[in-house]
Structure 1
């Protein structure tokens, strides 16, 4: 089984809302659950999520010149690190124990 490309959270800044819309329309990134663009002195800012392979395509897109893309975090790597913190046992096995970690539904 081949490994899926990593997901990268990127901070994107456009000069105006029209430029950001054009970039979003062309690249089709994942905007997350609650995409809210913020107007700042630098322009209109938004966090977006790209698969690693899509990020290269987004940087090469025709509308990429309208935005500044900064990689913030490798979401996949962070997720794997957090998964290692989760115990492997059944947290509900001992009825007198205080539950912790992720449980197993039975």
Structure 2
């Protein structure tokens, strides 16, 4: 994976847990600290993170793109200002952060 390669959140679905394990082993995804397979429909699914170069569908599972997390991250970064929110005395900070 290159540093500028987009990362996607995807759902990997398979008919059996063994097929799902095999697909996850093939794809080598980032499981995001929540490697929990769940029953969905007639099979099993897990949400993982994959770089764009590994979006190929495996033989034993279906891969569905849920979100472009690189694009989402860049959009969140655009919401963050570069100024010191606490520089002006007596003024309440503004923005997305928690106001206490």
TM norm structure 1: 0.79
Within the candidate set 64, 70, 73, 2:67 is matched to 73
- Structure 2's unaligned 5+ residue stretches are none
Matched, 1:91 2:85: yes
TM norm structure 2: 0.83
- In the alignment, the residues of structure 2 paired with residue 73 and residue 45 of structure 1 have an alpha-carbon distance, to the nearest angstrom, of 16
CA RMSD of superposed structures (Å): 2.1
Q: How many residues align?
A: 96
- Structure 1's unaligned 5+ residue stretches are none
Matching of residues 1-106 of structure 1 within 5 Å: 4-56=4-56, 59=57, 64-101=58-95
Task: Give every structure 1 segment of 4 or more consecutive aligned residues whose post-TM-superposition deviation is greater than 6 Å.
Answer: none
Contact 1:87–1:102 at 8 Å: present in 2 too?
Answer: no
